Amino acid sequence: MNNILVSLKRFITNKNTVTVIGVIVILALLYWGYNSTIETQVRPVRIPIANETIQPRTLITDDLVSYIEVPSVSVSENVIRNSAAIVGKYTDVNTVVPSGSMFYSDVLIDEEDLPDSAFTAVKDGERPYNLSVTVASTYGNSIFPGNKIDVYMKATDENGLVMIGRLLAKVEVLAVKDSTGNNVFEDTSTTRTPSTLLFGVPEDVFILLKKTEYLTNQGVELFPVPYGGTVPVEGDLTVDREELVNFIESHTVTFSDSNDDPSDIVPGEPTDQTEVE
């Protein structure tokens, strides 16, 4: 018995034996850790996905959500894992959730947080202005948000001659909207007809543009032209901006009030001077 114990003690205290045992233990730990990591990553988890392509500003309802099981390794931290955090939310502006896609926390917002991205893009000190357009005047609906345009004006003078000139230059289009105020290019599933181009202008220019809306009896018409492009409309006279401004001011009167609201603009008889705010 003593011989067995002595032999066992020699075996355990042998450096080679200790090294071999240590290597075996390390390999076993590595194998267990690797298997545990792989198992965790491939373990299926149940997550909600979109049943169909969901357009921007859309209320998420139960029928738009279903569940699938995927390996946990494919689910990032910002993926929403519970439909309770999805239903009742809205897809953010300019965000499309493709059919079969997971829902991400940064693309869903509450209704009260839905912004009009175009209005938020208006610079400080400017006011948003909606320029009336048609499919034809937008070159077959080919003017997009972010494009630069010139705004031209056409009018008929006292001699019956048609004047054409550039009133504004290099204006950035912030939004293209249809007659109901929806962004034309926001929903990829429908075809919308452009009705207005939204852009920001300084206060004095805003009032000037509002004045033109009262001068249809003078043949006044504003239309967009891609920045630096060729004017598609012909006239009898080509005039500069100063002449256009003088024409507008001489045919309108703005009554000043404490609210600084240009809503009191009215057509006026041609005069040398115009009362302005």
Look up the CATH number of the domain holding residue 70.
Answer: 3.90.1210.10
Pick the last residue of a domain from 98, 113, 128: 113
Instruction: Answer yes or no: is 247 within a domain.
Output: yes
Quick: pLDDT tens for 114-133.
767 677 778 889 999 999 99
Same domain, 260 and 130: yes
- Give me the pLDDT at residue 93, please: 76
Instruction: Answer yes or no: is 26 within a domain.
Output: no
Instruction: Provide the residue range defining the domain that includes 203.
Output: 117-267
Q: pTM of the full predicted structure?
A: 0.61
User: Which residues is 196 bridged to in the sheet?
Assistant: 132, 177
Distance CA 64, CA 87 (A): 9
Spacing of C-alpha 51 from chain mean position: 23
| DSSP-assigned letters across all residues of 156-167 | E-TTSPEEEEEE
Spans of the chain below 50 pLDDT: 258-260, 270-277
For residue 152, give the H/E element and its range.
Answer: strand 148-156
Same domain, 253 and 128: yes
- Give me the pLDDT at residue 119, please: 75
- Give me the pLDDT at residue 267, please: 65
- Give me the pLDDT at residue 11, please: 52
Same domain, 129 and 252: yes
Instruction: Answer yes or no: is 135 within a domain.
Output: yes
Residues 6+ apart with CB under 8 A from 12: 18
Same domain, 177 and 236: yes
Quick: pLDDT tens for 257-270.
544 455 566 666 54
Overall domain count for the chain: 2
Same domain, 57 and 72: yes
Pick the last residue of a domain from 113, 129, 144: 113
Same domain, 107 and 135: no
